[in-house]
Structure 1
Amino acid sequence: MLKSILPLGALLLGSAFLLFAGGVNALILPIRGEIQGFTAASLGLLGTGWAVGYVAGCIMTPRLVQRVGHVRVFGAMCAFASISILLSLLMMSPWVWIPLRGLSGFCFAGAAMVVESWLSERAEQGARGRVFGVYTMVNLSATTAGQMVLTLGDPRGYLFFVLAAIIYCFALLPTAVSATSTPAPLANVRLDLRALWRNSPVAVFAVFMVGISNGSFGTLAPVYAARAGLQLSDVALFASVPVLAGALAQLPVGFLSDRFDRRLVLIGTAVVALAADLTFIVATPQGATANLIVAAWFGAMVFAMYPLIVAHANDHAPAGTAIQVSGGLLLVFGAGTMIGPTVAGFAMTGYGTVSLFWVTAVAHAALIAFGLVRIRARTAVAAEDKTAFRVAPATRAVTPETAALQESSDAPPPTEREAA
């Protein structure tokens, strides 16, 4: 295990710095914006800006790498991400923050794709599954640590903006001083919505609804928690605990989906998520403990849906198209994350904080209804024809290159003839 991981230590360290800074960046903006008195609508647009930039980064980064190379692109992405958060400190206006958040999303997607391409190139064929697992754990741990570090200081000052900028700069150092050869070209995925829809209407509709739900919650959860009266440490936990719960829930959800119709499992997770939505709406949990318990319940379902949807789509995909299917679904998911935060932000501004969960509830109810209709229209895939369910990183950190790395990790090691 260590023999496989140690040569990749510099890349994993760079990724950890990137995700740590991204965790700080993602949480300090809504918290500081709430302190500055920004409306929930404007804070929701921060999530939309991020999603637009992230999707654009996934599409454009392969072309940029082709022109100037991996190292230069990665360095530029980290530098611009650092600049974006420093400019956010200098100009405290939501209308400045929104395009800067878009720039940050673009840079984050580009930098993550370069790291994943490098990992895929350098990892030995037989060890890629372990490398992907370690990479996923590093990303989850670094993101959580970045969010929790906000509990150690006062968000009213400049500390966390400058800290995130410094860590973004640290992220570029491991690849800048690496003597390894340039990786292969990045995965360049084009969205063919008609082909995706023909392949699996449930997957396309569900991933769009999950994008609306997860994008809304991921952007505005800190705002909801702050307005519910939680302390800063609890606000950070309210943003982090659901993601951790979702990572843990992927194992039992995947186990069930490999044995039953994945659409039924998806509908079941949506029903449980809808129950959590209604708990926030009707019961309005009071205090940190109650809010964190329901948030973990909510996160365990919503953050386990994305890999379940990808697995279902790949069950129906022609052989050799898994990367295209996964990449296309990611872009549809990104479209949902553009819409969700905007709708939820305006709803929270006009109708109260709990409107966040009205938006997620509508998305989950629509997913359930469409899934039930499709179950009657199409028979389930036979168990022997299913692809294996695969755990995925938090959707905020998934790129088309993640799918390529994951596909390569599942490929059998080369035979002696192939190696020769």
Structure 2
Amino acid sequence: MRRNLLPILALLTSTLFLFLGNGLQGLLLPVRGSAEGYSNEILGLIGTTWATGFVVGCFVAPNLVRRIGHVRAFAGFGALICLNVLLTGILVDQTAWLILRAVTGFCTAGTSMIIESWLNERATNESRGAIFSFYISITLFGVVGGQMMVPFADVSTPILFMICGILYCLAIIPTAVSRAASPQPLKRVRLDLKGLYRNSPVSFIAILLIGTANGAYGTLVAVFGARAGLTEDMIAIMVSVTILAGAVAQFPAGRLSDRMDRRYVLAGLAGLGAVAGVGLSVFQPANVYMILILVSLYGAAANALYPIAVAHANDHASSEDFVKISGGLLLLYGVGTIIGPSLGGPVMTWLGPHALFAVTALSHILVTAYAIFRSRIRAPVPVEERDSYAGSPALAPSLTTPESLLLNPRAAEGGSDQDQERTAS
């Protein structure tokens, strides 16, 4: 393990600081925005513009990296992110925040794609699994660690924005001074919506709805906490507990989906997430411990859905199509994260802060209904022919790029005879 990780230590260190900054900024903005009296619609749009910038970055950033090189591109993207977060703390204006957040999303896609492609080039078939798992762990620790910094300073001052800028500067340094050779040019991203739907209608619809629910929750849950009267430390705990519960649930949920029709597992988990959403939106518990229990239940269900939906899509595709199918689904998830905050903000204004969970519950109910409906139309892939489940770093609210899929050990597997015989109707 040490031999595999030492050559990429600089990249992993940059990854840690990058996601620490992402986690801190992602929670700080809605908390500060709520304190400034920004409307739910504006706070939702802040999440929408970030997701839009991120998705656009997945398409455009590779061309920029090809022109100026990985190291200079990474330093440039990182500097822009740092500049943006500092300007966000200075220009406390909702219009400025929307513009700055879109640029940050774009640059985050660029920095993530560079790190992920660099890690992939250093990985061998023997070390790919270890590097992939370590990368997932670092992204998770970084996001949660950044979120937990919020209670340690007054959100009404520029201090946390300055700390966030420091973290982004620290993310630039290890990669900028690394002696590792630059990787090959980034891959072009192609989104074949018709092909994705033909391959697996359930995964197509489910991923879009999962992105909608996770995008709304990831952007607006801090707004819910502020409007519901929770303290800043409890908001940070609530958001972090959701992610940690999802991380814990992925393994048992994935193993269960390896043994039975994945559509039933999708339906069950989505149903569980809907129950948690209904409990929070209808009963509106005031007890903070009951809220934590319900959001933990929500996180365990909602954050385990994405990798199972991807695995189901790969069940109906040949192994060599893993990157194309999974990359398309990842970008489709990004489209959902654009829709979710745009829908959640107005609903919260109309029906109150707890209505955020009505949006997530409706999305999960639709996933449950469609998964059960499709299970009556199409026979499941036999267990012995299925793609094996693997966890995903795409835990809400943070996105990874299609480059991360190349780190997955399944990306290096060749197609088998059984793969070639599968149909995708």
Given the two structures, how large is their TM-score scaled by the length of structure 2?
Answer: 0.95
Comparing 187-196 and 284-293, the one that deviates more: 284-293
3-state DSSP class of the match of 1:183? coil
Checking the alignment, whether the CA contact within 8 Å between 1:88 and 1:100 is kept in structure 2 is: yes
Alignment of 1:2-401 (within 5 A): 2-393=2-393, 394-395=395-396, 396-401=398-403
3-state DSSP class of the match of 1:304? helix
Cα deviation, residue 408, structure 1: 6.3
Cα deviation, residue 410, structure 1: 5.5
3-state DSSP class of the match of 2:127? helix
Partners of 1:278 and 1:408 in 2: CA distance = 37
Partners of 2:413 and 2:133 in 1: CA distance = 15
Comparing 284-293 and 379-388, the one that deviates more: 284-293
What is residue 416 of structure 1 aligned with on the other side? none
The unaligned stretches of length 5 or more in structure 2 are: 415-425
Checking the alignment, whether the CA contact within 8 Å between 1:77 and 1:111 is kept in structure 2 is: yes
1:262 aligned partner, one-letter code: R
Q: Matched residue pairs, number?
A: 412
3-state DSSP class of the match of 1:392? coil
Cα deviation, residue 210, structure 1: 0.4
Partners of 2:186 and 2:304 in 1: CA distance = 27
Checking the alignment, whether the CA contact within 8 Å between 2:267 and 2:368 is kept in structure 1 is: yes
Please list the CA deviations of residues 212-258 of structure 1 after superposition, one character each: whole Å capped at 9, or x if unmatched.
Answer: 10000000000111122211110001111111110110001100000
Please list the CA deviations of residues 170-227 of structure 1 after superposition, one character each: whole Å capped at 9, or x if unmatched.
Answer: 1111111111111122232210000001000110100000011000000000011112
Checking the alignment, whether the CA contact within 8 Å between 1:113 and 1:402 is kept in structure 2 is: yes
Partners of 2:42 and 2:197 in 1: CA distance = 33
3-state DSSP class of the match of 1:303? helix
Checking the alignment, whether the CA contact within 8 Å between 1:188 and 1:400 is kept in structure 2 is: no
Checking the alignment, whether the CA contact within 8 Å between 1:125 and 1:408 is kept in structure 2 is: no
Partners of 1:381 and 1:187 in 2: CA distance = 30
Cα deviation, residue 411, structure 1: 4.2
3-state DSSP class of the match of 1:391? coil
1:404 aligned partner, one-letter code: L
* 1:406 corresponds to which of 408, 416, 420: 408
Partners of 1:189 and 1:381 in 2: CA distance = 28
1:338 aligned partner, one-letter code: I
Checking the alignment, whether the CA contact within 8 Å between 2:310 and 2:326 is kept in structure 1 is: yes
3-state DSSP class of the match of 2:148? helix
Partners of 2:158 and 2:369 in 1: CA distance = 47
Cα deviation, residue 125, structure 1: 2.8
Partners of 1:179 and 1:411 in 2: CA distance = 30
Partners of 2:139 and 2:411 in 1: CA distance = 17
Report the aligned-residue RMSD.
1.3
What is residue 422 of structure 2 aligned with on the other side? none
Cα deviation, residue 61, structure 1: 1.7
3-state DSSP class of the match of 1:317? coil
Checking the alignment, whether the CA contact within 8 Å between 1:128 and 1:409 is kept in structure 2 is: no
Cα deviation, residue 4, structure 1: 1.4
Cα deviation, residue 318, structure 1: 2.9
Checking the alignment, whether the CA contact within 8 Å between 2:57 and 2:107 is kept in structure 1 is: yes
Cα deviation, residue 71, structure 1: 0.7
Over 6 Å off, 4+ runs? none
Q: In 2 relative to 1, CA 306–388 (structure 1 residues): closer, same or farther, beyond 3 Å?
A: same
1:290 aligned partner, one-letter code: M
Comparing 306-315 and 403-412, the one that deviates more: 403-412
Comparing 17-26 and 280-289, the one that deviates more: 280-289
Please list the CA deviations of residues 289-327 of structure 1 after superposition, one character each: whole Å capped at 9, or x if unmatched.
Answer: 111111110000101111011100011113411101011
Partners of 1:410 and 1:290 in 2: CA distance = 44
Comparing 184-193 and 295-304, the one that deviates more: 184-193
Given the two structures, how large is their TM-score scaled by the length of structure 1?
Answer: 0.96
Partners of 1:136 and 1:411 in 2: CA distance = 20
Comparing 355-364 and 252-261, the one that deviates more: 355-364
1:254 aligned partner, one-letter code: G
Comparing 166-175 and 402-411, the one that deviates more: 402-411
The unaligned stretches of length 5 or more in structure 1 are: 413-420
1:333 aligned partner, one-letter code: Y
Partners of 1:297 and 1:385 in 2: CA distance = 32
